[in-house]
Structures are given as C-alpha cells and as structure tokens.
Amino acid sequence: MNKITFILLFFTLTFSKAFAVEYNASAFGCVSDGQTNNTKSIQAAIDFISSKGGGTLNFYVGRYLTGGLTLKSNVTIQLHEGAILLANPSFYDFIKHEGKHYFIFAQDQTNLKIIGKGVILGQAKATLQQIQKLQQNGILDAAVAKPILVGLLNCKDVTIDGIHLEDAASDIYAIQQSSNIVLSNQIIHSTSTATSNAVNLTAVHGILLEKLYVDVTGKALIKDGLSNDISIKASVNKDGKSIK
C-alpha cells in the first residue's frame, strides 16, 4: 500500500467512524412521559452531536413532547419503533422563519437523516385551537401561517426513511431550494385541517419519493416550475392511485 492510498484510507475510516457514534436521548435529559417539554434537551443534543462531527441521536419507546427543533449537519435522528416526537401545541414553541412556522426545520445544512419506525406527530387540533384562541384575543393576526411539520431550506443530502408523519396543522413537508432529497417508506396521514398537503416543492433539484402512502386533505404533491429531477416510485394515495 503506497503512502497516498494509506492516507486516503485513514481519512475515510476516520470520517466513517465519526458518523457512527451513537447517543441515547435520555443521556441528554430527555423524558418520554408525553408531558415534559424536551425542547431544550433535544436541541442541545442535536447541537452537541453536530459540533462533534456527527452521529446518531436515538429515541426509544415513549412520547417525547417538544417544541420546534432545528436540525444540524451530519446528525441522524433515529426514532425506534414506539418512539413519538410529539409537537407541543403552543404556537410560540414552533420555529419561525420568514413568516412561516415549522415543527422540524433545517436551513443550509447537509447530510441529515431521520430514520426508523417511529412517529412525528403534529397535534394539529390542539395547535389550531390554541392559534384560534390567540386570534380571538387579538394577539395573533387572522392570516398567521399555520405550522408546517417538516421544513427544509437550502439543504443537501437529506434522507427521511421509515417514519410515520401525522396530523400537521398545515403541510407535512415544505422543501425549498434543496437537492439530493430522499423520502422513503413512509406513511403520511394528515386530515385534521381542511388543507394539508403532503409534499410541497419549491426549486428542488433531485428528489426521490419511494414507497409513500399518503392520506391528506390537500394534495399529495405540489411542485413548482423550478423543481426538477423528481423521481416517484411505488407511492400511492389513500385510493391506491399513483402519486404524480
């Protein structure tokens, strides 16, 4: 083995090892009782793992109540079977960006993953009731944007696989100016609000939708004229019709 090959192999193994580090959400103080607000604990875990070069944050069986979360580069969120990320319905706990609100949000990040057999639950009814109450009291404008479940802006190399996404107060996915996105093996269910779209694309370059089951009150897929390289495989709506 020559010197250059050895150096390349060393850095490859070191790089791979960095992203193989496993962390347990409970080690950061996360509580899975469905009542404790875990926003600070989960965000601290994401920030810490990203700062160390990357790794996987594991959530095991339980209901993890949390406000809005900002994803960071090289971090994998693994929701094991029976694990639920539960949106805190308090409107001010969602991530706000450019007039929109998100439960899970990432901007200018790369190599992101949310994987496993767990659930991301938006608690739409409770969220919308809280928003309505604030509007009636004159605290929020009547036209305020309802929270989107997952938002990606200018992100690259993102995989969301195996997750059940449910009960958004607005759209499930809003993906903008991003590339190399994979959404696969998912159940997407959102019927608590009049118009909840599944996947909304704006200037997206390269996205795979594979093995999705979509049951929403809005459209399964919305794409603008700037989005391209869109591949759809074995993805259907509640009537069994292919998503187009």
Please tell me the pTM assigned to this model.
0.91
Rounded to 5 degrees, what angle do the CA atoms 162, 23, 84 make? 40
**Residue 221's CATH number:** 2.160.20.10
In a domain, 8, yes or no: no
- Give me the phi and psi of 4, to 5 degrees please: -65, -45
On the question of pLDDT at 13 being above 90, the answer is no
Rounded to 5 degrees, what angle do the CA atoms 133, 62, 170 make? 35
Distance CA 24, CA 124 (A): 28
pLDDT digits (tens, 9 = 90+) for 180-212: 999 999 999 999 998 999 999 999 999 999 999
In a domain, 5, yes or no: no
Contact 97, 181 (CB under 8 A): no
Per-residue confidence (pLDDT) for residue 142, from 0 to 100: 85
In a domain, 12, yes or no: no
**Distance, C-alpha 207 to centroid of its chain:** 15
On the question of pLDDT at 84 being above 60, the answer is yes
Per-residue confidence (pLDDT) for residue 20, from 0 to 100: 76
In a domain, 169, yes or no: yes
On the question of pLDDT at 113 being above 80, the answer is yes
Task: Give me the number of domains the chain comprises.
Answer: 1
pLDDT digits (tens, 9 = 90+) for 116-169: 999 999 999 999 999 999 999 999 998 888 999 999 999 999 999 999 999 999
pLDDT digits (tens, 9 = 90+) for 172-188: 999 999 999 999 999 99
Mean pLDDT within 40-53: 98
